[in-house]
Structure 1
Amino acid sequence: MDELIDLLRNTRQSVFRLETLSSYTAAGEAELLRAFEAGLPLPPRGPDTDPWLRMVADSVRDGTSWSRVHVLDRPLSDYLRFELLGYQGNIAAGEDVRIAERATHPEALNAMTRDFWLLDEALAVVIEYDHDGRRLTMEPTNKVSSFVGQRDIAMRYSVPLLDYLPLVQHEIRRSW
């Protein structure tokens, strides 16, 4: 992860993230996810409270665009409901967070099953996960044309998070 952070800090034009899983397992989120599932309020998350989001905000301030698309299926998993609310911190840091539902454009989105980062359209970092959503590997490659194409398709068939949230408010079981 430190290597990825170094790559992100050295990116000057654009950072794109494609997410495709309905659940991720990250040690740093376990306690927050349990609190969310128990109906407890989540702590504020933004550049002033989260070092990752501070890095994003500083990078955006310096002129790098950050965007991500989460290609997902409904009904939403507990993790996705948690993540959709958490993404608001990413927006506060200046990231363009978007959602694409596979069912709305299956011909374009069903093939998107691998997560990756795309940095300055020059380097992709492909991420492999186990069946529980635990990160196994991150492999960089400079063969980026297929990743640029996937980014373009994901962006075309996605909507901004803040437009998507009202559509799934009843599934999230929380107000924001």
Structure 2
Amino acid sequence: MQMGELQRRLSMTERSVFRLETLPSYAAAGEANLLRDFHAGRPLPPRRPETDPWLRMVADSVQAGRCWSRVHVLDRPLSDYLRFELLGYQGNLTAGEDVRIADRATVPKALGALRQDFWLLDDELAVIIEYNEEGRRLAMEPTSDVASLIEQRNLAMKHSIPLLDYLPTVQNELRRSW
């Protein structure tokens, strides 16, 4: 599956979209310049639905009554990429997405098994995402066998907290980014 097909399917959901993220870094081509600016200490442009097509899609979907949520299961200390991403999630919040963080240090046994990234659409279709060691996306495979992924989502949600509650707990690590 290509990204355009995923976006088409996401825009056609009727009730809910869920994303589980589990990696300490991702190598998305569209983020390379932003990540470079972040590492150089330059201010990043704000991400808003008015300026970002992805966030516009999310905001329109949320306004139409669909629930968008994600959990990033992470380890500490935060990687450089995670510091960048945690700050970047502000745009997702603005679009109406429920962004949550599950820190493996808080419940290592339960969260340790969550190592597979995926999208879950209306609890009926999932898209499993495979990455290489550098966090570069290799493949996205749709499946309707979603029972175990629903369990993983529920586990991640149970052991996560809202992004805005998590950020104060890592404030010192985020300051090192500036």
Report the TM range for the smaller structure's normalisation. over 0.9
CA distance in 1, matches of 2:20, 2:160: 11
CA distance in 2, matches of 1:175, 1:57: 28
2:105 alignment counterpart: 103
Secondary structure of 1:103's aligned partner? coil
Secondary structure of 1:2's aligned partner? helix
Amino acid aligned to 2:134: D
Among 154, 170, 173, the alignment partner of 2:172 is 170
CA distance in 2, matches of 1:110, 1:157: 12
> Which aligned runs of 4 or more in structure 1 are off by greater than 4 angstroms?
none
1:32 alignment counterpart: 34
1:23 and 1:133 in contact (8 A); partners too: yes
Q: 1:7-49 CA deviation, whole Å, 9 max, x = no partner?
A: 1011010000000000000110000001001111010101011
Among 34, 51, 54, the alignment partner of 2:53 is 51
Matched, 1:21 2:23: yes
Among 158, 161, 169, the alignment partner of 1:159 is 161
CA distance in 2, matches of 1:108, 1:130: 24
The alpha carbon displacement at 1:106 in A equals 1.2
Q: What is the aligned-residue RMSD (CA, Å)?
A: 1.2
CA distance change for structure 1 residues 115 and 71 in 2, over 3 Å: closer, same or farther? same
Superposition TM-score, scaled by structure 2 size: 0.97
1:133 alignment counterpart: 135
Q: 1:143-175 CA deviation, whole Å, 9 max, x = no partner?
A: 000000000000000000000001111101179
- Structure 1: state its 5+ residue gaps: none
1:118 alignment counterpart: 120
Secondary structure of 1:116's aligned partner? strand
CA distance in 2, matches of 1:173, 1:23: 19
- Structure 2: state its 5+ residue gaps: none
1:61 alignment counterpart: 63
2:11 alignment counterpart: 9
**What number of residue pairs does the alignment pair up?**
176
CA distance change for structure 1 residues 93 and 159 in 2, over 3 Å: closer, same or farther? same
Secondary structure of 1:104's aligned partner? coil
CA distance in 1, matches of 2:113, 2:42: 36
CA distance change for structure 1 residues 77 and 131 in 2, over 3 Å: closer, same or farther? same
Superposition TM-score, scaled by structure 1 size: 0.98
